[in-house]
Amino acid sequence: MFNKRIKIKELLAQDAQEQEVTVMGWVRTFRNNQFIALNDGSTNTNLQIVAELGKFDEALLKRITTSASLKVTGIAVPSLGKGQKMEIKANLIEILGDSDAEAYPLQPKKHSLEFLREKAHLRFRTNTFGSVFRVRHALAFAVHKFFNDKGFVYLHTPIITASDAEGAGEMFRVTTLPFEKAPKNEDGSINFKEDFLEDRPT
């Protein structure tokens, strides 16, 4: 199922030769009950899917909403529209996942950065953050490749932090108090208020 599909980025790099292809992705827009803008995250550029009028069931078309997940099989042909060199004439449209257009927060319009901050798990689907993360990826990859080519080994060192991560903060405590003669409270527990770290300004 998944191994037969081609990524949109790879498809757009080819020439349309009326070959049959299978693509998968999320719906960005659906216009005139006929034109679907599909994106799979491999590129910021959408792929236009043409659903010929009268060819598909109305019940199916009603389920094609913003962010619905589709699998489309069709013929790649040169596009007659501006700004795109290829489009897919759909022969088969399968909905892999529905999306409630009323509840889905990212509609086909420009959103402010303040709004997107509240939708952190969906920011990757916007062109703004998609571009930012691709630049960050390229920079990080270049740094790792440079050091790898020079024979360095990348490793993750342990980090001491004040944050309690999944209970790991109970494993050990960092203190400057003497282990055997630590000051005690009335109930016998250690008085960490006399610790150097406790008195440090925050």
Looking at residue 113, its pLDDT comes to 82
Q: What is the pLDDT of residues 150-200, one digit of tens each?
A: 999 999 888 776 666 666 555 566 777 777 778 888 888 878 777 765 654
Question: What is the mean predicted confidence (pLDDT) over 90-110?
Answer: 86
Q: What is the pLDDT of residues 39-54, one digit of tens each?
A: 998 998 999 999 998 8
Instruction: State the chain's mean pLDDT as an integer.
Output: 84
Task: Name the residue among 40, 45, 41, 72 with its Cα closest to residue 56.
Answer: 72
- Amino acid identity at 20: E
pLDDT > 90? residue 69: yes
pLDDT > 90? residue 109: no
> What distances in angstroms separate CA 165 from CA 36, 159, 162, 192, one per listed residue?
44, 11, 9, 21
